[in-house]
Amino acid sequence: MKTQITAVPKLYIGIDIHKRSWKFHFSTDLFAGKSFSMSSYPDKLLNYVRKHFSDYEVTTAYEASCCGYYAHRCFESYGWRSLVVNPADIHRKGKERHTKTDKIDAQLIARELKDGRLESIIIPDKKREELRSLFRRRNDLVKDFRRVKSYIKMQLLYFGIKEPEEFDNDHWSHKYRNWLDDIMFEYPTAKATLDSRMRFFRFVDQELRDVSTELRRYCKVHYKKDYTLLRSIPGIGGIVACGILSELGDLRRFKNIKHLAGYVGLSPSVYQSGDNQRTMGMTPRANRLLRSYFVEASWQAIRADPVMQGYYRKHQGKNVKRIIVKVARKLLSRTLAVIKTEVPYTIGVIE
């Protein structure tokens, strides 16, 4: 009897990606498939698929990780459908939550992919992705800057050195830095420790300034329209605007504020069982870096905009942390509205 192909056969590839090797699980629309390992080169996978599954429609999926989107872009260039998924979106049955290996992870991804239960995260273009790397580099420098300042303060406290009252604040003026340079210890080793920390402090300080300047300059040139719109909002400074452009991309892709707030992490986590319902605080699923920037920007917005200040005062008497999160969500809503309408914000106008 002569057989006839009535549909294009489909191949689903679940991949657990690591630096040196990848674990694959191949599954077709008819068979469960098999698992094996291969070195971390997309072209080797391409050759294998061409040899053994040349007539198949291929779909791949792997978890978002430190390996980025290089593999995804390679797979799409081969004409395959490729998904990069949030690890939290991969469903695990009861016993699967207590057993984790690379092979099992690849099998789970292939299973969920075959059943159509996976959705890809938004993949930024290369231009936006590389801008994001500069923004995150700045955040790394901010952490280093705070850390070295803490180390210097710790050394002064450890050796019982009291700071003059005029310098007892968070602002490190040039006078304060010169005072630190002039501190003398009984033995040269402690002085060498402080000098080393001061050199590192000045290096990080200069790097932070240079990276911040380059970040703002790039956004002003390449994303001038959106950057200008964002800067019109009280509380949104140059760095926060750069963070929004690099981490969120084009805000026009978000359907509404609920969609955007869920992505940033400014939506409540709710637990309900029967008639009992309670709010569990902010959702743990978030872009934590950008969420912290919006919360910090909210304090500035309260000072600069009467509308925001009135909104804050209306909730006074409640938990301060909860109030500022409400303000941050309102600031996020304002940000989305300004970008979508492409109309600069006017201070004092009630929304």
What's the average model confidence in pLDDT over 124-132?
94
Instruction: Look up residue 35 and give its two tokens.
Output: 């698992």
Per the listing, tokens 């910090």 go with 296
The one-character DSSP state at 169 is: S
What's the average model confidence in pLDDT over 149-176?
92
pLDDT band at 320 (very low <50, low <70, confident <90, very high): confident
- Asked if the model's pLDDT at residue 1 lies above 80, the reply is no
Q: So what's the pLDDT on residue 316?
A: 81
What's the average model confidence in pLDDT over 253-259?
91
- Asked if the model's pLDDT at residue 75 lies above 90, the reply is yes
Q: So what's the pLDDT on residue 348?
A: 64
What's the average model confidence in pLDDT over 257-266?
90
pLDDT band at 194 (very low <50, low <70, confident <90, very high): very high
The tally of CA atoms less than 13 A away on the side-chain side of residue 234 is: 18
Q: CA-to-CA distance for 81 and 167, rounded, in angstroms?
A: 60
- Asked if the model's pLDDT at residue 351 lies above 70, the reply is no
By three-state DSSP, how is residue 291 classified? Answer: helix
Q: So what's the pLDDT on residue 66?
A: 86
**Strands lying side by side in the sheet with 34-39:** 34-39, 21-28, 10-17, 57-63, 81-85
Question: Model's pTM, two decimal places?
Answer: 0.87
Domain boundaries, the chain: 10-114, 126-222, 225-341
Q: Report which of residues 93 and 21 the model is more confident about.
A: 21
pLDDT band at 168 (very low <50, low <70, confident <90, very high): confident
**Number of other CB atoms surrounding residue 29 within 10 Å:** 13
β pairing state of 57-63 and 81-85: parallel
Q: So what's the pLDDT on residue 156?
A: 94
Assigned CATH for 10-114: 3.30.420.140
pLDDT digits (tens, 9 = 90+) for 220-239: 999 999 999 999 999 999 99
Percentage above 90 pLDDT, the chain: 66
- Asked if the model's pLDDT at residue 51 lies above 60, the reply is yes
User: Closest by alpha carbon to 55, among 116, 11, 25, 2?
Assistant: 11
What's the average model confidence in pLDDT over 247-264?
91
Q: C-alpha distances in angstroms, 251 versus 135, 330, 333?
A: 17, 15, 11
CA angle 119, 122, 125 (to 5 degrees): 145
Per the listing, tokens 């934590």 go with 288
